[in-house]
Chains A and B, each alone.
Chain A
Amino acid sequence: MKKVLALGLVFCLLFLTFAGCKPAETATADATAADAAAADAAAADTAAPEAAQSADTGVLNVAIAADIAPDSVTEWTKMFNTDYPDVTLNVMLEDASNYEVTLEPLVAAGEMPDVVGIGCTDWFATLADKGYILDVSGTPGWDAQLDVLKDMYTSRSGVHFAVANGVETELLYYNIDQFTQAGVTSVPTNWQEFLDCCQKLKDAGFQPLAVAGASPNNLGHSFISFGIAHEIVASGFDPDWNVKARDGEYDFSTPEWQAVLNKAVVLRDAGYFQRGYESADLYECMREVSVGEAAMTIQGSYQTGNIIVEGGANIGITTVPWNDPGKEQVGIVIAGDGYAMGKNTTGNVDLATKYFNYVSFEHADVYQNMSGTIPPWKDAAKDMPNAKVNDKLKAAWDASNALVTKSLEPQQAFTAIVYEQVKQFVQAVILGSAEPSQIGDYLNPAQQEYLATLN
């Protein structure tokens, strides 16, 4: 009996493997041709990549994130293999919320893939300073980027280290129908209107705001972004706080910092969060909004495709009204994850550059179409003519982009050590186990530890 079951399982495995099998995607290449490939690649003509198949040979090791738009990886591999049939492309999959897990072992071994997907964080900037990531200025992708993205992807010592796959911001997603039913006639444009809106929703029996209480990662993006944007940047207190913190001593226990999460606490204490928010993870939070169990959520614009789903609720998008009445809204600028070129271990710099241009610029629309992100180009019409962006997202993005004052998202502003504590702190506040005034207790020790590593 058990033997039959075992055979059955093996059969299932084989069936599923071959049912899902597409024709082999890796082209063949002689691994020892790597040396010859350098000469070949240098001598190969630089015809437009969309043209006839190239005669380049060699091996490339690349790493691309696979959890937001997993099909983009296979699409690119297929296209690249068609255009460069003699190149062996080895693709490693990364987890976009945790690049470190895949890349730390490589760094420990002193290596980096030829082309690597990275995030816009301080750690990657440090890697660029140390030479693990190469300078990519001069590539078409870098030149076509928005200036603000160029700034964000420049390391301390001036290395231009990546091309973004999109430009993002934090937006408010709301349920249009529930707004109407609750009597909310216009989208809130300041904090007071936002509170009134939440109250009306609550009175009408809806759950006003969905929050991912179980995900420090997600919490570290939303509320505190706007807290910092308004209390620290727009108020004029310390617009360059992130540079100062990176270069020296910084005190996070000043009254301005202690007020950063005050508004989040107001929401928490008024009971506007959805039921079960303490254990809701990002998936649950977005699911509740897409099916209509909660009315609003504040998420990054890159989540549009996950919140506005087919067959889901009627969702609208707008900028986040964190501003006090009479004050201006502040926009959050987020550099999407990017593509970088790693310290070259296979020796095929030219080939690597070709693949880099492939994914970062020439065929960047593959990722864009699957994820719905905003193109990172100064002239999107020219550089990505067939970009598919959700209309509502485009409108909201334009509105956010038009805001005069901009602030950075915490993950891209804090150093890694401090950001870990930021995440924990925001979660503690949202869950009620800490108060905003304790921000110094969380962040200052981390800042001290960070400074100790600079010596």
Chain B
Amino acid sequence: MRKDSVRVPSARRVCLERQDMKKTRHVCYYKSIWKWNGALMALPGIVLIVVFIIVPFLMNVGYAFTDYNTASDVPRFIGLTNFRNMAKDRDFWLVCTNTLKLILTYVIGGNVIAILLGVMITNVGRKFGNFVKTSIYFPQLLSMVVVGFLWRIMFSYNNGPINHFLEWIGVPPDLLPQWLGVPALIIPSISTALIWLISGYYSIIYHAGMMNIPMSYYEVSAIEGASKWQEFVHVTLPFLAPSITINTVLLTVESLSAFAVPASMTGGGGPGRYGTTLALWSYTTYFNNHQYGKAIAISVVLGLFAVVLAFIELKILLKKEVGNS
């Protein structure tokens, strides 16, 4: 009985045999039908994505080259003026630096803490682990605006629990840091709030990854007398490599689109725009300055930057993955 695999790429015509009563029938069909069916199935989703994501994005890119002003008439093509205005703006480099700083602290800090948490959750018993997993997921259920506000209270100089705690453990009042007032401390504060937000989700992913590592590897390392650190580096990490890749990309994207948390925490961008990221800058330029062209230019740059960065990260991390395994 000849039975073709359904996934042979080159076969155009697939013939299978069927037992039908006492006859043996050849049922032949063309694989191209499957391709059409497949495309049809995916079509509604594709249409939605194209219409509501790709089209607005392309429109944005297009309008970035005009003097688009919603309250006026036909936009004129003005070339790169919007981008030049954006680059000439006194805040441009500061905002870019802030964004990069946020990406670094958030991605690295977030990954490290999530991995640590994942390790710890994997170690303790199932009941306790489940309790922890459920509890630390709660921040994900809140709106970003709320998260920003909560952490504005937490980091508040006079009223905030963090400074109260520091005072309680003996830090003299003069040395209490102004978390949201000192330029150097703002991005770390925002990162802390963001890490608080996502640690519940990513730690679960890492925990799941660790649960799937076969015991045999650990047995081998135990036999060879490896220390727990070596075990971690040589057994756990390589298996987590794919997760680390994906999560790094996801974290990068999240930090780039984070705008509600910095906005609520710093009341609009922080002292002297030290708390403003590209996303927040695009938002304030649009809504407060009413400079639509410039705001769109900023958002286009942001979008391209996100895609390029994700690409680079994928390339680097995928290579490391392959190298490791």
Contacts and interface: CB of A to CB of B under 8 A. Distances in A.
Direct contact, A vs B (beta carbon within 8 Å)? yes
A276 B267 contact: no
Interface stretch (A34-42, A122-130, A139-147, A239-247): A122-130
Interface of B: 67, 69-72, 81, 85, 88-91, 134, 152, 155-159, 173, 178-183, 266-273, 284, 286-291, 294
Nearest to B185: A279
B260 to A, nearest CB: 12
A107 B288 CA distance: 14
A108 interface: yes
Nearest to B73: A130
Contacts, number: 99
Interface string A85-102: 000000000000010110
A453 B69 contact: yes
A214 B271 contact: yes
B289 A278 contact: no
A449 B180 contact: no
Interface string A117-137: 000000100110010100000
21 contacts: A2-B134, A104-B70, A104-B290, A107-B70, A214-B270, A215-B268, A276-B157, A276-B178, A279-B156, A279-B157, A281-B267, A284-B156, A284-B158, A284-B159, A420-B284, A428-B272, A431-B271, A441-B90, A445-B88, A449-B85, A453-B69
A427 interface: yes
Nearest to B91: A424
Contact of B288 (A127, A276, A416, A453): A416
Pairs A-B, 10 closest by C-beta atoms: A279-B181, A278-B181, A276-B157, A279-B180, A279-B178, A108-B70, A100-B287, A279-B157, A428-B272, A420-B289
B181 A214 contact: yes
A39 B288 CA distance: 40
Interface of A: 2, 98, 100-101, 104, 107-108, 123, 126-127, 130, 132, 213-217, 275-281, 284, 288, 293, 416-417, 420, 424, 427-428, 431, 433-434, 441-442, 445, 449, 452-453
A59 to B, nearest CB: 25
B178 A420 contact: no
Contacts of A276: 157-158, 178, 181
Nearest to B81: A452
Nearest to B76: A455
The main secondary structure of chain B at its interface with chain A is loop
A278 B70 CA distance: 36
A100 B295 CA distance: 14
A77 B300 CA distance: 42
A434 B271 CA distance: 12
A416 B286 CA distance: 11
A416 B289 contact: yes
Given A284-B157, A424-B273, 17 more contacts: A100-B290, A127-B71, A130-B71, A130-B72, A132-B71, A213-B271, A215-B268, A277-B181, A279-B178, A279-B181, A280-B181, A281-B267, A416-B288, A417-B290, A428-B272, A433-B271, A449-B294
Nearest to B287: A100
Contact of B180 (A104, A126, A214, A442): A214
Contacts of A275: 173
Contacts of B85: 449
Contacts of A277: 181
Contacts of A441: 90
Contacts of A126: 71
B290 A123 contact: yes
A276 B157 CA distance: 6
Contacts of B179: 279
Nearest to B69: A453
